[in-house]
Structure 1
Amino acid sequence: MQLETIDWIIICGYFLIVITIGIAVSRISGKDTGQFFLGGRKMPWWLLGFSMVATTFSTDTPNLVTDIVRQDGVAGNWAWWAFLVSGMVTVFLYSKLWRRSGVMTDIEFYEMRYSGKSAAFLRGFRALYLGLLFNVMVMATVSLAAIKIGGVMLGASPLQSILWALIATAIFSSIGGFRSVVFTDFLLFGVAMVGSIAAAYFAIGHEDIGSLKALFEHPALEGKLSFFPEVDKDENGAWSDESLNAWATLITIPLLVQWWSVWYPGSEPGGGGYVAQRMLAAKNEKHATGAVLFFNFAHYGLRPWPWILVALASLVVFPSLESIQEAFPHVDPRMLGHDLAYPAMLTFLPNGWLGLVIASLIAAYMSTISTQTNGGSFYIVNDFYKRFVNPDATEKKLVLVGRISTIVMMVLAGYIALQLRTALDTFKILLQVGAGTGLIFLLRWYWWRINAFSEISAMVSSLLIAVFFRVADLGFPWWLELLIGVSATSIVWFSVTLLTSPSERTVLERFYLKVRPAGPGWSSVRSRIGMSIPESDPLAPQFVNVALGIAAVYGFLFGIGKMLYGETVFACCVLTVSGLFASKLVRSESRGPDTEKR
């Protein structure tokens, strides 16, 4: 494979547009931290929604999906499809609360919700824990994909790939801040979506396949196409061990446990990270809700199938890891994994389209990395440096610290990326580290008794348990390790909650009056206030909207899948019902009151 002039024109043209946008908004972004990190809190829902989708449209995502499909089939995607439940809960129960809180970051929330030195410690520690450790780990995972794509498609060494990728993104991220990230994300989404569809089209057109029908009928895909794990039974009608393990790993644990119990970047229970940053940057509560709703529809319902089609095609063209290694002998053997099949399939693209797809991958990479660095540096600036190191720092000084921290995170992410191996392994590590903490992020808004020690104990215990499983190597199935981690961490933090004192009364009352969470969890605080307060949003309609949203998005996802599989009548029925649910949700939200005006 060789890049021609047309490919380089497309790639360079993309870079020119992105850098121009960054420079154009750099002046207003550099005025103060509110502009640099939140765009002045004037962002519309559609722009923020596209930005969130573009952020998750990263180089590691198609690699991860390919890794999953090649090993566990289409049904394996439930490992991340299950997070839709958490996403819809965030849309209807938490987006308004976040926007109403008025905090600058989700880390600043801690000293608004909790009290005392424990709250201050939690804020500072969490700023470094997320801003450096977790953010850098996510960036390293994305950069691992860039290394593999660069090695397969451009023949670059791991070090060359990571240097060029990080340098380009560091320049862009440090110039324009959040405003340039959001504006360019709109462009990046379009380029990345066209690129992924083109990749699927040419993968299906490969000489070994030829058409969708031929792809789905190929023997290499036997047992890979079902939306749910297949069930094998013995002569007594009992499920086989493989079937039990598959259903536990892919369906039971993700849908019943994982979505509410695991903190994972981009799918945080109750919202957090870059999702919270965009809710806080919205014009008002309705725009915050609309942004997250659009994000969940696009993220889970619209984008997966082009990646899935490329992954399925790769099973025909590269049926084994050995076949990938044979086709690309120059690739570092340490990087060999099923996730390498995605960039391997892209090598069959014709020139012109090749340049566009490479530009789309660069776009996906820059979108995610710029978001992670902007959000991570915001934690470091607002919740550590300004809060504990230099409270009197000028706005220009804070912006400078933000730009410096962006570069530092880039360097650390590049180093860690060179130590990683496969996308799926890294995904499981991140899930295990956050296991058991998710329920706190849901309950802290709706139950007054949660305190800073609850979160500290959960964070420490989940990390120690994850490290223990990695070091001990007990040979447990991954889902069992996750279940043990969730159970043990939940017992620890719940016990600590009951054994420690709650936050100060004045802090709890001030939080309630500002955010107005509904439900019985704040009844004792309400009764103590003893004054007329604005009515909270009733919970019942919100739960109904959550259910409708989940049904609509899954219907859209599976309706598209059935259409591709050739089951047209069934697909049309599912898509029609999904559309009805979606329209009902839109009407419900558009008629809802603007609680900010109460």
Structure 2
Amino acid sequence: MAIGLAFWRRSRSVEGFTAAERNLPGWLLGISIIGAYVSSISFLALPGKAFASDWNSWVFSLSLPIATWISVKWFLPFYRASRHVSAYTHLEDRFGPWARAYASLCYLLTQLARVGTVTYLTALPMAVLLDWDIRWVIILTGITTTLYTFVGGIVAVIWTDAIQTVILVTGALVCLALLVFGLPEGPGQLFALAAEHGKFSLGSFGLTFTASTFWVVLVYGLVINLQNFGVDQNFVQRYHTAKSDAEARKSLWLGGLLYVPISAVFFFIGTALFCYYTAYSGSLPEEYRLPGKSDSVFPYFIVTVLPPGLTGLLIASVFAAAMSTISSNLNSSATVILKDYYQRYFRPEATERQKMRVLYLTTIVVGFLGTGIALAMISVRSALDAWWTLAGVFGGGMLGLFLLGFLSRRTSSRAAVAAVSAGVVVILWMSLSPSWTGSLAGLRSPFHSFLIIVFGTAAILLVGFLVTVLGAGGTSRRAPRPDAPGSDFRGLDN
């Protein structure tokens, strides 16, 4: 709240609230990008995943350097040249109003799922520490975070992200050291137990699409990270806050590369927790070993093993980091609603006061809905799996539509409609069919849920290119300047 109040004056205009007056340094933005990844999802769900299984999910992080290179080379120059704060304005120029509305709606649904997941994971350690009903903790977290977002706008969000990222990573390293050196036989026992139970496995290298193999997670990670850097308002908005193109590039490389070792630390914590409670088998209540309870193991360790001062610091930093992450999602969602709906369809000539009023009101609405989703997640088995699945479903092929317009200047609006329709059909089939019974059981999707967004994106691209090549695309609208200054991209069909 103090940081928010410090930047209150700089955030009382739409430009300040949404773009920080385009004057932030690259190192700060880079750390804030890490903070966008290192929320309570990383701090609690990644150790929980490694505790319950292995390092298969860490393969997601290995795709980040590839996605970062693609984004720095093509996506970043494109958005910086456009100067549009909304990530979806160019889709209307390319395919018409429906494309902008479709992509922005998919983004809003994705952000609601993310706000719900982060809020739920933040409430876990607080509920354990205070012995409160987790539902009340979720409600209080949602209310306080929504109020915080009112104060400082995007500049306060970015500064808070950066500060809390440093605190969280420092706390994680301290916890890891206590775990490793707290085993009866020292660090060697950790590696022996982990090897004995296959805890460092990256998953099967077999070429199957029905399980979470190394290749399935890698491809899923690449698509999700390209979506983050290419069409996620939360990231695209940060591009516009940089004071120069060079600083924006620096921020992407810093955030994209540093998250790989940082995420490895959190997975190593999960492995160390497994070895710690294997060595001290009576120290962990049996309820925490049940399926779906692994996300609570690290909070239990924090509140029962760590010294009181360190416990308080970690709980506070988890809570604050979650607040900064959620506030970033609330800020970007409010920006999308203002730019892509209110100003586009209702009041294009709205005054500054009217636009700020919309930003404040939509922040409240998104915060309320995200809190409701967090309450619904109490019964899920793994918050990480739930978030990844929801991200794949609600992503709705946004990346496919963006890439279709970005890679082909000849693809028309009609071709794009056909492509998106095919992608939505694939996404709905893969999402809904696993629960089909009776006569429909034979039509179930055999593919792993991580492939929903992969196949949805692929379907949009394939159908879009096919319709374009066959000449059924009609007349294309104005292309979205893929050859903007600073970009050497010229399209595949020029």
TM-score, length-normalised on structure 1?
Answer: 0.72
Aligned-residue CA RMSD (Å): 3.2
Equivalent residue of 2:406, what SS? Answer: coil
Structure 1 stretches of 5 or more lacking a match?
Answer: 1-18, 232-242, 525-598
Q: CA deviation at 1:477?
A: 4.9
**Equivalent residue letter for 1:478:** H
User: Is 1:430 the counterpart of 2:377 in the alignment?
Assistant: no
Pick one of 176, 199, 202 that aligns with 2:152.
176
Q: Deviations over 1:134-175 (max 9, x none)?
A: 111111111221232223233221211112211221121111
Aligned residue in 2 for 1:374? 331
**Equivalent residue letter for 2:376:** Q
Q: CA deviation at 1:87?
A: 2.5
Q: CA deviation at 1:389?
A: 1.5
Q: Deviations over 1:286-311 (max 9, x none)?
A: 1111111111122113x123312220
**Equivalent residue letter for 1:357:** L
Q: 1:120 and 1:513 mapped to 2: Cα distance? A: 22
Query: Measured at CA, do residues 458 and 172 of structure 1 come closer, stay the same or move farther in structure 2, by a change above 3 Å?
Result: farther
Q: 2:318 and 2:344 mapped to 1: Cα distance? A: 37
Pick one of 82, 87, 91 that aligns with 2:68.
87
Question: Quick check: 1:122–1:456 contact (8 Å CA) kept in 2?
Answer: no
Query: Measured at CA, do residues 491 and 179 of structure 1 come closer, stay the same or move farther in structure 2, by a change above 3 Å?
Result: same
Query: Measured at CA, do residues 27 and 135 of structure 1 come closer, stay the same or move farther in structure 2, by a change above 3 Å?
Result: same
Q: 2:461 and 2:4 mapped to 1: Cα distance? A: 44
Q: CA deviation at 1:55?
A: 1.8
Aligned residue in 2 for 1:129? 106
Equivalent residue of 1:448, what SS? Answer: coil
Aligned residue in 2 for 1:258? 220
Question: Quick check: 1:65–1:311 contact (8 Å CA) kept in 2?
Answer: yes
Query: Measured at CA, do residues 411 and 431 of structure 1 come closer, stay the same or move farther in structure 2, by a change above 3 Å?
Result: closer
Pick one of 517, 521, 524 that aligns with 2:491.
521
Pick one of 292, 297, 305 that aligns with 2:257.
297
Q: CA deviation at 1:244?
A: 5.9
Q: 1:277 and 1:459 mapped to 2: Cα distance? A: 26
Q: Deviations over 1:479-524 (max 9, x none)?
A: 68546555545444444555332433xx23x735645753552774
Question: Quick check: 1:204–1:210 contact (8 Å CA) kept in 2?
Answer: no
Q: CA deviation at 1:444?
A: 2.9
Name which of structure 1's ranges 138-147 and 196-205 shifts more when overlaid on structure 2: 196-205
Equivalent residue of 2:228, what SS? Answer: coil
Question: Quick check: 1:44–1:282 contact (8 Å CA) kept in 2?
Answer: yes
Query: Measured at CA, do residues 426 and 471 of structure 1 come closer, stay the same or move farther in structure 2, by a change above 3 Å?
Result: same
Question: Quick check: 1:66–1:307 contact (8 Å CA) kept in 2?
Answer: yes
Q: CA deviation at 1:81?
A: 2.9
Q: Deviations over 1:431-482 (max 9, x none)?
A: 5424765344345334213445527436633542343235438473516854
Q: 2:61 and 2:220 mapped to 1: Cα distance? A: 9
Equivalent residue of 1:358, what SS? Answer: helix
Aligned residue in 1 for 2:124? 148
Equivalent residue of 1:103, what SS? Answer: coil
Pick one of 461, 481, 491 that aligns with 1:511.
481
Aligned residue in 2 for 1:350? 307
Question: Quick check: 2:483–2:489 contact (8 Å CA) kept in 1?
Answer: no
Question: Quick check: 2:17–2:155 contact (8 Å CA) kept in 1?
Answer: yes
Equivalent residue of 2:491, what SS? Answer: helix
Aligned residue in 1 for 2:32? 51
Name which of structure 1's ranges 401-410 and 481-490 shifts more when overlaid on structure 2: 481-490
Equivalent residue of 2:8, what SS? Answer: helix
Equivalent residue of 1:249, what SS? Answer: coil
The total of aligned residue pairs comes to 476
Aligned residue in 2 for 1:217? 192
**Equivalent residue letter for 1:57:** V
Q: 1:354 and 1:196 mapped to 2: Cα distance? A: 11
Q: 2:72 and 2:351 mapped to 1: Cα distance? A: 35
Q: In the TM superposition, what are the counterparts of 1:281-430 in structure 2 within 5 Å?
A: 281-301=241-261, 303-318=262-277, 326=285, 336-347=292-303, 348-420=305-377, 421=380, 422-430=382-390
Structure 2 stretches of 5 or more lacking a match?
Answer: 438-443
Query: Measured at CA, do residues 267 and 503 of structure 1 come closer, stay the same or move farther in structure 2, by a change above 3 Å?
Result: closer
Q: 2:372 and 2:283 mapped to 1: Cα distance? A: 26
Q: Deviations over 1:269-322 (max 9, x none)?
A: 635321111112211211111111111122113x123312220122134459x9
Equivalent residue of 2:376, what SS? Answer: coil
Pick one of 407, 416, 432 that aligns with 1:468.
432
Query: Measured at CA, do residues 263 and 466 of structure 1 come closer, stay the same or move farther in structure 2, by a change above 3 Å?
Result: farther
Pick one of 185, 189, 196 that aligns with 2:165.
189
Aligned residue in 1 for 2:409? 448
Pick one of 2, 23, 29 that aligns with 2:11.
29
Q: CA deviation at 1:214?
A: 2.1
Q: CA deviation at 1:412?
A: 0.6
Q: 1:290 and 1:110 mapped to 2: Cα distance? A: 26
Percent identity of paired positions between Structure 1 and Structure 2: 23
Q: 1:337 and 1:449 mapped to 2: Cα distance? A: 51
Question: Quick check: 1:48–1:291 contact (8 Å CA) kept in 2?
Answer: yes
Q: Larger Rg: 1 or 2?
A: 1
TM-score, length-normalised on structure 2?
Answer: 0.86
Q: Deviations over 1:507-546 (max 9, x none)?
A: 23x735645753552774xxxxxxxxxxxxxxxxxxxxxx
Query: Measured at CA, do residues 307 and 523 of structure 1 come closer, stay the same or move farther in structure 2, by a change above 3 Å?
Result: closer
Question: Quick check: 1:29–1:179 contact (8 Å CA) kept in 2?
Answer: yes
Q: Deviations over 1:104-157 (max 9, x none)?
A: 110122234x15xxx2122234333322x1111111111221232223233221
**Equivalent residue letter for 2:130:** L
Q: 1:424 and 1:221 mapped to 2: Cα distance? A: 25
Aligned residue in 2 for 1:528? none
Query: Measured at CA, do residues 201 and 164 of structure 1 come closer, stay the same or move farther in structure 2, by a change above 3 Å?
Result: farther
Q: 1:254 and 1:97 mapped to 2: Cα distance? A: 28
Q: CA deviation at 1:373?
A: 0.5
Equivalent residue of 1:418, what SS? Answer: helix
Q: Deviations over 1:355-414 (max 9, x none)?
A: 111122012201210110010110001111111112221112111211111111111111
Question: Quick check: 1:437–1:458 contact (8 Å CA) kept in 2?
Answer: no
Q: 2:384 and 2:241 mapped to 1: Cα distance? A: 32
User: Is 1:160 the counterpart of 2:119 in the alignment?
Assistant: no
Q: 2:423 and 2:193 mapped to 1: Cα distance? A: 47
Q: 2:17 and 2:229 mapped to 1: Cα distance? A: 26
Question: Quick check: 1:324–1:341 contact (8 Å CA) kept in 2?
Answer: no
**Equivalent residue letter for 2:410:** R
Q: CA deviation at 1:29?
A: 0.7
**Equivalent residue letter for 1:127:** S
